[in-house]
Amino acid sequence: MRYPKEYKEQARQRLVEGGARLAKKRGFAAAGVDDLAAAAGVTSGAVYKHFGGKSELLATIIEAELRRSAARFASIPAGDLAKLERAVAAYLSPEHVGHPELGCALPSLAADVARSDSEARAAFEDGLLAVHAALKRHLRSDDAAWAMIAQSVGAVVLARAMQDANVQQKLLRSVKRSARALLSHTGSRD
């Protein structure tokens, strides 16, 4: 039976979205092809119909996820530091820490990408540079944009590894204050 082109594209999109949710929650390396397919509501054969293998799926997931993250920061109007501060606060929230499947791919998948092939690493680097460019537009500093990314991603990674919610909160509050300081420094340069 032949499926219409739209059906095939929808199945591919479900693989990327469902695979991303599962990979961000459990780790890409820990998820088998059958798991990734099941998370998308398709058969494991569909993975191989749409992708050259699991590593190509990872590269596609990374590309889609980081494009979404970059778009989120790019959609904030230039100079609207209050809106940017709210976006960073949401990133550094207990909800983001507690639900990796709904959040940013950077804290969830960076370690998997670091052990992956060059295609996934290239997609990661391109996506990370797009996030950096979106933040640099607001912070007007290469260093400040990298610092904001590294502090925020690192805080989420560390908070997810902690058991004590009070210690998590202290960490998140501390990094929010650091982000606010970066933003206020940017605002004072106007």
Q: What is the pLDDT of residue 190?
A: 45
Read off the pLDDT band of 3 (50, 70, 90): low
- Residues 110 and 123: their CA atoms lie apart, in Å, by 11
Torsion of CA 142, 154, 58, 34, to 10 degrees: -170
pLDDT at 14 over 50: yes
pLDDT digits (tens, 9 = 90+) for 31-85: 999 999 999 998 889 899 999 989 999 999 999 999 999 999 999 998 899 999 9
Residues comprising the chain, all counted: 190
Q: What is the pLDDT of residue 187?
A: 55
- Are 94 and 87 in contact, with CB atoms under 8 Å apart? no
Provide the mean pLDDT of the chain: 93
Under 8 Å CB-to-CB from 36, ≥6 apart: which residues?
15, 18, 19, 22, 23, 44, 47, 54, 57
CA 63 vs CA 83, 158, 177: distances in Å: 25, 24, 30
- Are 36 and 47 in contact, with CB atoms under 8 Å apart? yes
Read off the pLDDT band of 2 (50, 70, 90): low
pLDDT digits (tens, 9 = 90+) for 157-190: 999 999 999 999 999 999 999 999 999 887 554 4
Q: How many whole angstroms from its chain centre is CA 142?
A: 20
pLDDT digits (tens, 9 = 90+) for 80-104: 999 999 999 999 999 999 999 999 9
pTM equals: 0.90
pLDDT digits (tens, 9 = 90+) for 139-159: 999 999 999 999 999 999 999
